Amino acid sequence: MLGAGVSADARIPQWNAFINRLNIDTIKKYIANEKLSDTDLDLLYKLFAKNKDNSPLIQMRYIRSTLNGPMDFKKIVREVLYEENPTVETALLKSISQMCKHPRMRQGVQGIITYNFDDLLEKRLSMDGIDIKTISDETDIVDLEKLNIHHVHGYLPKESKEIEKANLVFSEEDYHDVYTNAYHWSNLSQLTYFREHTCLFIGCSLSDPNLRRLLDVASKPQGDPQHFAIMKRKNVILNKELQDEIGNITDNVINIHNDVNNRINNLFYLSLGIQVIWVEDCLISFIASL
């Protein structure tokens, strides 16, 4: 189960950067007749970014409403997605590919669910000689002899000109459509893996409400956690900035806070059927050792 964190080191923009870039394109449409210096333009973009206090999904709805239909939206999203020439040579992508080299029949990685639009995973796996099948639509059929990659939020490969069928789940109304349709192919794909396999989440924040809903539906009551997630521990660190904000706080209070916070986080994820594997800065080496 792969989230946005998998593509971060590959120069794929993350949510905030993505939205800021799309916001700039949107703003340009409305100020075409304004004569502004480069400095004033930069300040204008920063002002809009600061003023956007809604959730990313709502911001994407604002942006989408200004574009000329879904095709225009998809083209702009793909342009932003690949504008930094992302690479497949990251240590994390190589490690994930290494994990996928095992046979499919009852051992090793049985399939991949990805919440990303990009095609970096496909390129990395193909380079490493792994037979893959991309599933990004309800009309795509699983191939049991290949490693199936389910793009449950849509798929926008860099070179392909066929983007009409790219049903992106990227804004508020998209999530509403998926959330309210119990038989949506992406929901069924995820539920199948949650119920029939042990899943490993990599690069996922697990903040998506629809994902948590599906985990709740698939979880076994009072059973041991079936799934695992690799997540970076977010401990509070004592520094001058924190003391200026909170007060004369001590190391002992910081340690108690971190301990209690970690326990609460563990219980939260256990309620979703997930055992978290907490790491500091050794995510890549940990995955490579699996």
Tens of pLDDT, residues 140-189: 999 988 999 999 999 999 887 667 677 888 777 777 888 888 889 999 99
Of 181, 186, 212, 173, the closest CA to residue 59 belongs to: 173
CA atoms within 13 Å, Cβ hemisphere of 203:
20
Output the average pLDDT for the chain: 83
Helix %, strand %, coil % of the chain (to 5)? 50, 10, 40
What is the maximal distance between C-alpha atoms in the chain? 64
**Token pair 């970690």 in the structure block, residue:** 262
Close Cβ partners of 115 (under 8 Å, ≥ 6 residues apart): 1, 2, 3, 4, 152, 153, 204, 208, 211
- Tell me the pLDDT band of 134, cut-offs 50, 70 and 90: very high
Higher per-residue pLDDT: 73 or 221: 73
Instruction: Note the pLDDT tens digit of each residue in 201-218.
Output: 999 989 888 899 999 998
Strands 200-202 and 227-232: parallel
Residue 279 has pLDDT above 90, yes or no: no
Residue 283 has pLDDT above 80, yes or no: no
Specify the pTM: 0.83
Give the dihedral sign, CA 167/171/176/179. Answer: positive
Q: What percent of the chain has pLDDT over 90?
A: 37
Tokens of residue 155, six digits:
């798929």
Instruction: Output the pLDDT for position 13.
Output: 85
Close Cβ partners of 103 (under 8 Å, ≥ 6 residues apart): none
Tokens of residue 161, six digits:
């000109």
Provide long-range contacts, Cβ within 8 A and 24+ apart, for 99-102: 99/287, 99/290, 100/125, 100/130, 100/147, 101/128, 101/130
CB 177 within 8 A of CB 83: no
* DSSP character at residue 248: S
Residue 200 has pLDDT above 90, yes or no: yes
CA 280 to CA 47: how far, in whole Å? 34
Instruction: Note the pLDDT tens digit of each residue in 227-256.
Output: 999 998 887 777 777 676 777 777 888 888
SS3 string of 145-213?
CCEEEEECCCCCCCCCCCCCCCCCCCCHHHHHHHHHCCCCHHHHHHHHHHHHCCCEEECCCCCCHHHHH
- Tell me the pLDDT band of 192, cut-offs 50, 70 and 90: very high
| Mean pLDDT within 40-67 | 70
CA distances from 286 to 80, 202, 277 (A): 31, 11, 10
| Mean pLDDT within 130-134 | 94
Per-range mean pLDDT, top range of 91-105, 126-140, 211-225: 126-140
Lowest mean pLDDT across 22-26, 33-37, 39-43, 52-56:
52-56
CA distances from 63 to 19, 56, 73 (A): 8, 10, 9
Instruction: Note the pLDDT tens digit of each residue in 100-125.
Output: 987 666 678 999 999 999 999 999 99
